[in-house]
Amino acid sequence: MEITEAAAAVERALDVLVPAEPGALAGLSEADVAARQAAWARIRRLVDVRGALLAGVVAKRSDGAGGGMARRHGHRNAVGMVAQVSGGSAKEARDLIAAGELLSGDDAPPGAAAAGATPRWSQVAAALRSGVLSAAQAALLKDTLERLEGADERLEARLVAKAQRLPLADLRKACLDVTARWDLDRWEAREKRQRADRYVTVSERADGMIALSGVLDPASGAVIKTWLDAQVRDAFARRRNEGLGPAEPGEAGRIRADALVDLARHGMRCDQPGAGVSTQVVVRVDEPGLRTGLGLGSCDAISTPMSAGQLRRMAVDAKLLPVILGAGSQALDVGYARRYFTPAQRIALAERDGGCAFCHAPVSWCDAHHILEWSSGGPSNLANGVLLCTRCHHRIHDDGWTVKATATEVWFTPPRTIDPTRTPRQGGKAALHVDIGAREREPEPARDHREPVPV
């Protein structure tokens, strides 16, 4: 069959699955639409397999002096050619090329093909080839595994399994967490490089507007992000309370700009009391990590893990709240005595949920909600609390999801319209966690408890 005939046959098959005529889908039931969408998604992934194979060939033939195939076809490089032909971005083109390397075995160790050995990351390649993973997911797993010295097929299998349960954005968070825990020394060196690479530029455009640009290391960015998120959240809350309706397009950006101006003005008259929304940067590290500086912790403002040493340095700032996990210095379960969750309980919920327990939005976007409403006798304790962003809070209530939680875990059970088996889905931090085996760096032996902890 010639190429044009094959393409026409595929187009006819797609017309059966999803008719392109206007209004052709209007009479379908929701179940039929959902089934067709699932079938279309699988077909798209399988089409991407073929696209990845072609992208890999383009990349291979574009290597070497003169740019090879890509240059001969009028493109700067293979990425540019794949992106333009596919109508996608450079990132999508790179993903297709990386997936093509997986499928063709071009990333196999030297001599593996000649010796008949199994290609490198064969489980990722198999999942991609079968349509279980997308090219973007496969490229992310390939990149993650290649960063981990000594990664084996057991970790590969866990990452492939996790990729099938998470959307791409959350899979990126899980892979970032695995990378941090795999080699703490390398992660700490990365933090130092990022600290050295921070910058902000201020320039005046031709139209008179002032342009700000730059990048910040996670520790510095967490402070700025926490402050700005609080201003946006407070402004939107006041807008709702005043009945002003939804925000206008770009409103969040304007609020951030005004907040930075106000912060600068306050700094120029620092003898005067500040104004604005009270904020607090929360950093989390376990007791051995605080004591030894070894291990990893986190900050509520960002998803990037931080070394315990970095968090110890941040915790010196009186404006930051260090949460020492396991210290038990505050009562977290207050039963029926209070209508609202205490600040200590909210911090404990954030430690368990990591932000929105359902969609993993940042902690600053979330409120602590009662699973069983307080008005119905629900206690204000961790087993009856969950952090949810506003959108997921409404989604869960409106769509019929049920939530169950303990002090350490939270689970969401979908309605039968979404999953006829109603299989519970794990939420919170645990949903993003990947077991990496016995690679965690051991803390130093405990010292005399009377010795002060250096920070």
- CA–CA distances in Å: residue 283 to residues 163, 192, 225: 28, 18, 14
Give the pLDDT of residue 284.
77
Count helices and strands in the chain by DSSP H and E runs: 17, 11
Say how far apart CA 343 and CA 336 lie, in whole Å: 16
Taking alpha carbons only, the member of 369, 365, 443 closest to residue 410 is 369
Residue type, 14: L
Q: How confident is the model at residue 330 (pLDDT cuts 50, 70, 90)?
A: very low
Angstrom distance (rounded) from CA 316 to CA 142: 38
In order of 96, 103, 429, the CA distances from 141 in angstroms are 13, 13, 19
CA 156 to mean position of chain CA atoms: 19
Tell me the mean pLDDT in the region 268-286: 62
φ/ψ of 95, rounded to 5, equals -65, -45
> Quick one: pLDDT band at residue 308, thresholds 50, 70, 90?
confident
CA–CA separation, 128 vs 108, rounded Å? 16
What pLDDT, on a 0 to 100 scale, did the predictor assign at position 206? 87
**Mean pLDDT calculated for residue range 96-105:** 89
**Alpha-carbon gap, residue 221 to 362, rounded angstroms:** 14
pLDDT of residue 361: 86
Q: How many CA atoms lie within 13 A of 174 on its CB side?
A: 29
Q: With bands split at pLDDT 50, 70 and 90, how would you rate the model's confidence at 331? A: very low
Q: Lowest-confidence range among 8-22, 82-96, 102-116?
A: 102-116
What is the mean pLDDT of the segment spanning 343-362?
Answer: 88
Range of weakest confidence among 136-145, 205-214, 242-251, 419-428: 242-251
Confidence band of 268 (pLDDT split at 50, 70, 90): low
Mean pLDDT over 178-207 rounds to 90
- Of the ranges 34-43, 184-193, 339-348, 426-435, which one carries the lowest mean pLDDT score? 339-348
pLDDT of 93 over the 80 cut? yes
Q: What confidence score (pLDDT) does residue 339 get?
A: 56
**Per-domain residue ranges for the chain?**
26-181, 199-262, 281-325, 343-432
Q: What's the CA gap between 350 and 301, in Å, rounded?
A: 11
Give me the count of residues in the chain: 455
Per 3-state DSSP, what percentage of the chain is helix, strand, and coil (rounded to 5)?
Answer: 50, 10, 40
- pLDDT the model gives residue 15: 83
Contact 433, 174 (CB under 8 A): yes
What pLDDT is attached to residue 316? 53
| Best CA proximity match to 210, nearest among 200, 219, 220 | 200
Concatenated DSSP letters for 164-198? Answer: TTS-HHHHHHHHHHHHHHH-HHHHHHHHHHHHHT-
pLDDT digits (tens, 9 = 90+) for 213-237: 999 998 889 888 888 988 888 888 8
